[in-house]
Structure 1
Amino acid sequence: MIKRKRSINSIIHDQLLGYASEEDKKQLQSWLDSSQENRENYDRLMREACLIDRYKQFAQVDEERAWERFQKKHFSIRSARWVKIGRYAAIFLLPIIGFAIWFWTLRLMDSQPVISDEVRIAMIRSEKMGKQKATLVLANGQKMDLKSVPAKPLQDSVEQVPVAQPSVPKTDMNESEEVSVVENNKLSTYDDSEFWMTFEDGTRVHLNYNTTLKYPPHFGTTTRTVYLDGEAYFQVAKDSKRPFRVITANGVVKQYGTTFNVNTHVPGITKVVLVKGSVSVLPNQGGEYKIKPGELAVLQADTQDVQISVVDIEPYIAWNSGRFVFDNCSLESLMNVISRWYNKDIVFESEDTKKIRFTGDIDRYGSIEPILKAIQRVTHLEMEIQGKTIIIKK
């Protein structure tokens, strides 16, 4: 009886999981040798450093369904077509198979936000890179260092931050009483770290680097209020009876259930970008301004003005899913981000080089050397790493 050869797709499936037979390996090698195009496509598929680990996690749910989705997205034997990822590719090269490996969608209650596949991958890569860490000071004064829950198997890998019991009995107090009586926990990230957390109501928050979030041990009966200094991406659980408020030094963001980004890193300015749903922004003095999805609201502390404009939200929220997107920004601004995230000092030997403008997309979890090389190719500048210092010169 003639034994039927297995398909190349099935063999690559077994190869990724580490249990391809010797006969399978020979058939795969024969297929690779038969065409330069086959070889290039296969090498490109295997080049991603953590691709095999990701596929193993991906396949834990339903191996056959996982492989079908995986190969449909990334590998076509017949057409050998490859999809390039990302809208922004003006300057920086991203791995062809960067963030587009699909995991299954976590099905939650309608009132709770869902973690996207892209963000789930970002969580895994961040955890592997050691970027998920923060310091938590509880309302009772206890201090602890936090790290992320290991992102395997692929379940909800968002950290549920420990909470202390409220310092006063829960009663039907009004909103002002809740804010003034209950002591807040304080969660802080470092210059080179980030942190995901989930509140007891199901609201998810992703803190960017150098960010502090204060919040009560338990939300009250009439409101859910937190205090932000830095940048955070909010996915708020729906609750028509308790509005969710983010209080910043320059004003308040208020809504009942939606997705938005708040950034206060620039002194005297709060930027709010709405992804979906609806929110209102309230300066410390003045009325309430509603914004729509795809709009940016900028609150100015000195004038108490609120400027609302339609924007491409990607540069504002890409960090949440593992990318730094720069849209016509200066080299100085770009290097400030790199300085914080990679814990490096930046030295410009010429003031003129700070003003060079960039539009590009950087892998947030990639190593720093390829990023610097990409910048060098475009600018013809020299970037030299000396210990913790990056020296930029003509």
Structure 2
Amino acid sequence: MKVTKDIHELILAYLQDDISEEEMSRLREWLAESERHQRLLEELRDKDVLQREIGEYASFDTSRRWAQLEKVMGKPSGKRSSLLQVWGAVAAVVVAFVGGLVYWQMVGLSQPEKEQVTIARIEPGETRAVLITEKGRQVLLQGLKDTCFNITGDDTLNIREDGSLKYSLSVHSSLLSSMPEWHTLRIPKGGEYKIVLDDGTEIWLNSASELKYPSHFVGNERRVQLTGEAYFQVARNEAAPFIVETRGMDVKVLGTSFNVSVYEDEESCHTTLVEGEVEVADKVNGKKVVLTPGTQTLLQGKEMTVRKVNTKLYTLWRLDRFTFASEDMEGVIRKLSRWYNVEFFFANASRKQKRFTGSLPKYSDISQVLKMIEMTTDIKFQLKENTIIIQ
């Protein structure tokens, strides 16, 4: 679809929440043509950006900017610089077209006689956790960087520059005076955390998750216990297999990368293998299967199955995206609820079964994320106090 003033007007109508169903359908068609179009609209939804651009672009000639926009949008997608060029052209057109009206309606200036209502922003999760020692001592891990402390005698805990927690022995392994303490790392809703165990194994923990582990490993196995979701990059040690123990299955590895999801509020749990090899043992039926890269065990009730999957759908959460492929809306909402630590309510129960496919930015304000879902479905969201109503 060629970029015209008609599309510009649709974008403006959408940003002002004054768009009809027919217009929304046409805008969706334009968005479906290119991921660049979607990213463009995502940028335009940022009111702070629009406010900054008004002073710079308000005096530019509108028709000339439309010509520039058509020229840029007609080029094949390339590096990020191309996106920035497009953004500059679009921002210029939007601001020049509506002038002071955009500033008044889009940036939040209201008519003098009307009281301005401020709605609290629902921010995304952040790096935070609570460390609980075997003796019950609790350490809040939030905002700590580049520091270390000792709480067990034999083990040193280092908070690295990136905010992650790293264990290391403070004495030679042959001089250890006692068996290791078991620690618990608890991640609340609206949190995430990375930990490096004393063997070099790296673990990324998702929101509302809990990991129990020894402060250092001894013996012929390395065993941890997981509730929730975690991504593992296990340091190889053939003499001491690494075992992830969960409520329904145990995952045994020598050295590999994989994801495990075992939330208590989920009907199913799964292990997804990215590289290497793992053995998954079904605790209910005693069944054992060996996974190869790109496969997943799915445990639903008493039945465990193996299937091929796109591993990115189950691992990108540890980076900067939530990715879904025809996932029911109830599952999507559970993930968003954990990450943003906010309650959702389905006003219409049939919406739970609606399917959603797409990639959502993990660190954006929730209003932008919900807008993206609205753009590709007929679902609407409404914020009431601290609850988001799904209509």
TM-score by length of 2: 0.61
- For 2:286 and 2:330, the matched residues in 1 are separated by 35
**Percent identity, aligned pairs only?**
31
RMSD value over aligned CA atoms? 3.8
Unpaired stretches in structure 2, ≥5 consecutive residues = 1-56, 88-122, 147-159
Structure 2 counterpart of 1:160: 165
Kindly provide the CA deviation profile for residues 365-387 of structure 1, in whole angstroms up to 9, marking residues without a partner as x.
Answer: 11111122222333344321122
- For 1:135 and 1:292, the matched residues in 2 are separated by 34
Structure 1 counterpart of 2:137: 142
Larger displacement relative to structure 2 (202-211 or 330-339): 330-339
- The CA deviation at 1:240 is 2.1
- The CA deviation at 1:75 is 2.9
The SS at the match of 1:194 is strand
Kindly provide the CA deviation profile for residues 83-130 of structure 1, in whole angstroms up to 9, marking residues without a partner as x.
Answer: xxxxxxxxxxxxxxxxxxxxxxxxxxxxxxxxxxxxxxxxxxxxx966
Equivalent of 1:327, from 308, 311, 325? 325
Residues 380 and 39 of structure 1: is their aligned pair in 2 closer, same or farther, counting only changes over 3 Å? same
Structure 1 counterpart of 2:274: 275
Indicate yes or no: 2:328 matched with 1:292.
no
Task: Note the 1:9-28 alignment, pairs <5 A.
Answer: none
Structure 2 counterpart of 1:360: 358
User: 4+ residue runs of structure 1 moved beyond 6 angstroms?
Assistant: 37-41, 163-166
Q: Which structure would you say has the larger Rg?
A: 2
Structure 1 counterpart of 2:376: 378
- For 2:66 and 2:236, the matched residues in 1 are separated by 50
Residues 241 and 377 of structure 1: is their aligned pair in 2 closer, same or farther, counting only changes over 3 Å? same
Structure 1 counterpart of 2:310: 312
- For 2:190 and 2:125, the matched residues in 1 are separated by 10
Equivalent of 2:81, from 63, 75, 81? 75
Unpaired stretches in structure 1, ≥5 consecutive residues = 1-28, 45-71, 83-127, 172-177
- For 2:240 and 2:79, the matched residues in 1 are separated by 41
The SS at the match of 1:75 is helix
> What is the number of equivalent residue pairs in this alignment?
276
Task: Note the 1:172-183 alignment, pairs <5 A.
Answer: 182-183=180-181
Structure 1 counterpart of 2:7: none
Residues 160 and 349 of structure 1: is their aligned pair in 2 closer, same or farther, counting only changes over 3 Å? closer
Residues 129 and 338 of structure 1: is their aligned pair in 2 closer, same or farther, counting only changes over 3 Å? closer
- For 2:195 and 2:67, the matched residues in 1 are separated by 43
- The CA deviation at 1:227 is 0.4
Q: Is contact 2:270-2:296 (8 Å) kept?
A: yes
Structure 2 counterpart of 1:131: 126
Q: Is contact 2:124-2:340 (8 Å) kept?
A: no
Structure 2 counterpart of 1:242: 240
Q: Is contact 1:326-1:359 (8 Å) kept?
A: yes
Structure 1 counterpart of 2:254: 256
- For 1:38 and 1:129, the matched residues in 2 are separated by 38
The SS at the match of 1:270 is strand
AA partner of residue 292 (structure 2): K
The SS at the match of 1:219 is coil
Structure 2 counterpart of 1:66: none
Q: Is contact 2:169-2:198 (8 Å) kept?
A: no
- For 1:326 and 1:149, the matched residues in 2 are separated by 33
TM-score by length of 1: 0.61
Residues 327 and 348 of structure 1: is their aligned pair in 2 closer, same or farther, counting only changes over 3 Å? same
Structure 2 counterpart of 1:210: 208
- For 1:162 and 1:387, the matched residues in 2 are separated by 42
Q: Is contact 1:263-1:270 (8 Å) kept?
A: yes
Q: Is contact 1:139-1:217 (8 Å) kept?
A: no
The SS at the match of 2:212 is strand
- For 1:135 and 1:268, the matched residues in 2 are separated by 27
Residues 389 and 238 of structure 1: is their aligned pair in 2 closer, same or farther, counting only changes over 3 Å? same
- For 2:324 and 2:389, the matched residues in 1 are separated by 21
